[in-house]
Amino acid sequence: KQEVTQIPAALSVPEGENLVLNCSFTDSAIYNLQWFRQDPGKGLTSLLLIQSSQREQTSGRLNASLDKSSGRSTLYIAASQPGDSATYLCAVKGGGSYIPTFGRGTSLIVHP
Amino acid sequence: KAGVTQTPRYLIKTRGQQVTLSCSPISGHRSVSWYQQTPGQGLQFLFEYFSETQRNKGNFPGRFSGRQFSNSRSEMNVSTLELGDSALYLCASMSGYSGTQGVEQFFGPGTRLTVL
């Protein structure tokens, strides 16, 4: 059974910092990995989708990498802004299942 | 293109009642998945419907059921509500079945259910 861990659980940084969020998974036989952000009490917004055959994806200030052999993905946020404050979740599809397994998320606060 | 819509956004029910939640996927999307999100358990998969057929089911009791209509809209029903059913219920839309390579999930805003 696929297990997904996100570290750290919470992060508070000053505006302008570059930061890295981590997502680890136990079964490297994945189909894809998707990063989301969730604002309090709201639904999930898709940020990036990385296919199994890809190493990274970029969108604006966001860059996500995937290393299947080590069971890790990182989400890099450049020049963080207060509007980036949210919970970031990763979802891994694979490990014998087409149903994504979600991590518990990293709660990010970017203060001015 | 309109996103995923869920109605109602908020619900308050009492124990023992039943509730029906609705989800309209992105136009052209044929797959709808339902999730329950709680602080204690995080996001848990309930079921997936594709072309009116349930394709996958999570580990929830039979009180949780769903269906999908020919226009891809989906409903989720919870009978005999319990206090523990209080949660944010999220619906996700995909263009294809979850087993299709490259499909991306798009989520709705959720329905906040409170059981008293």
| Cα B112 from Cα A19, distance rounded (Å) | 31
Find all residues with CB under 8 Å of B33, minimum gap 6, and list them.
Answer: A99, B45, B46, B47, B48, B49, B56, B91, B92, B94, B98, B105
Low pLDDT (below 70) residues in chain B: 1, 99, 101
Pairing of strands B42-50, B53-57: antiparallel
Residue A5's closest chain B neighbor by CA?
A: B42
Q: Encode pLDDT of A50-63 as tens digits.
A: 999 999 999 999 99
Report the greatest alpha carbon distance in chain A. Answer: 43
Q: Name beta bridge partners: A35.
A: A48, A90
Percent of chain A with pLDDT over 90: 89
Q: Encode pLDDT of B16-35 as tens digits.
A: 999 999 999 999 999 999 99
Query: Mean of the pLDDT values across residues A14-18?
Result: 97
B105·A105 Cβ contact <8 A = no
A98·B101 Cβ contact <8 A = no
pLDDT at B97: 76
